[in-house]
Amino acid sequence: MSRKVEAAHRGHSKVPAGLSDAFQQMQRELVQHTAEEEAIVFPTMRQWAKGSSEIPISKLRREHDDQGTWLRLLESLTDDFATSTAPAVHGRRCTSARPSLPRT
């Protein structure tokens, strides 16, 4: 969808360059991270609950912090997630429940 938004608004001066690329990289990392949690972390947590394993928590925290970095990049590329004044239904859908990101 981000590619469609970029293409539809390409001529607008405030179209954030690189937004689709950032979204796609973030998605790839989230898919990989989620797969690792399902395959490694959650089974390890079940073993840990039984007292027989350690959880690689530092790696998980680093990956979660990395996602925060991506979100802050998206925030800066979109001028604090600002919406266009142009009437675009997809823009309203994408930003109707915009969260506030914590500053670190």
Q: What's the CA gap between 12 and 91, in Å, rounded?
A: 14
**Does the residue 103 lie in any domain?**
no
Neighbours of 72 (CB within 10 A): 14
Is position 68 within any domain? yes
Domain interval for residue 90: 2-95
What residue spans of the chain are helical by DSSP H?
A: 2-8, 19-36, 42-49, 57-77, 89-95
Q: How many domains does the chain have?
A: 1
Residue 100 forms part of a structural domain: no
Indicate whether this model's pTM tops 0.75.
no
What does pLDDT average to in each consecutive run of 10 residues of the chain (104 residues)?
A: 79 79 89 88 78 68 85 86 60 53 58
Residues 24 and 47: their CA atoms lie apart, in Å, by: 34
Asked whether residue 87 is domain-assigned, the answer is: yes
